[in-house]
A = this chain, B = another copy of it.
Amino acid sequence: MKPAELTLAISTHLPEMRKSERKVAEFILANLSEVIRMRIVDLAEAAGVSEPTVVRFCRAVGCDGFQAFKLALAQQLASSPSYGQIAVTDTDSVAEYTFKVFDSTVDTLLKVRDSLDLEMLTRAVQAICVANRVEFYGFGASAAVAFDAQHKFFRLQVSAAAYADPHLQNMSATSMAPGDVVIAISQSGRTTTLINAMEQVKNRGAIVIAIAPSDSPVAQAATIPLTIDAKEDIQIYTPLSSRIAHLVVIDVLAIGVAQHKGGQLQEHLLDLQHGLEALRVPNTESD
């Protein structure tokens, strides 16, 4: 029994349950966090059924017994930390908004992780691996993402560049050729300049990977769309978590490329590490 899917399992089995088992199920779904502190007697009473019915319910959702059920439930609860809306208010303390920002980011990452199109991801990695050069386009907050990506891929011996200037982007776009790859990054998915550049790149026969919301013009304009729908909790302040999600998706691409490149890359990375050491106070690590 995978804990991450317990509540799902409960909901799934609901229709085929008996009346009193359903009472248990409904009570549990409505009182998830209390249930893990309850004994079988308490739960039976609270749900208005007998103890054996609770046991039967546990078996029905795929657990070995009541204890096993509680354990699985506890795990599921622990693994979806926020689960709900996180809105920073004017009166939040430092501790409160710190936790909210972290938790909402974590929440976003888990959602994005589960909604990624692995097929597209695979295609994107392959395209990057065989590309002559890889360029990143992005404006605003996505510009920082693009530069981060450039840095990362450059380390992986990929000929990478990043442009946040529309003129440079255009010049880059017109110089693209088949075998090249452009990665267009947009949080809004509706930046017209970016879409124009993408069209130009496609006309030149190069591949365009987009990291953007699904159903957005940017995603639609891509050869390989990597769609990311990170509902922004703190929208107005600036894209917080969705930008992080973009970065992590790029991390995944980078790991994919690194894996493809295999052994000789490791040596290159170690060389880089040694090179950077000269710029540092004696010790170890990477910047």
Using a CB–CB cutoff of 8 Å, the interface residues on chain A facing chain B are 3, 36, 67, 70-71, 74-79, 81, 88, 90, 92, 94-95, 97-103, 105-106, 109-110, 112-113, 116, 118, 121-122, 125, 139-145, 147-148, 151-152, 155-156, 186-193, 195, 217, 232, 234-240, 243-244, 247-248, 251-252, 254-256, 258-259, 262, 266, 269-270, 273, 276, 279-283, 285-287
Contact = CB atoms under 8 A, between A and B. Distances in A.
A238 to B, nearest CB: 5
Contacts of A36: 71
Nearest to A187: B287
Contact of A102 (B97, B109, B186): B109
B105 A191 contact: no
A265 B98 CA distance: 20
Nearest to A257: B237
A152 B238 contact: yes
A155 B279 CA distance: 33
Contacts of A145: 144, 148
Nearest to A105: B248
Contact of A262 (B90, B103, B258, B286): B90
Given A103-B113, A106-B109, A236-B266, 19 more contacts: A71-B74, A75-B78, A77-B78, A92-B259, A99-B113, A101-B252, A105-B248, A106-B110, A109-B109, A139-B279, A140-B151, A140-B287, A188-B286, A192-B279, A236-B269, A236-B273, A237-B254, A238-B286, A239-B287
Number of copies: 2
Contacts of A99: 113
Contacts of A148: 141, 144-145, 148, 243
A258 B88 CA distance: 10
A219 to B, nearest CB: 12
5 contacts: A70-B71, A144-B144, A191-B279, A232-B286, A237-B258
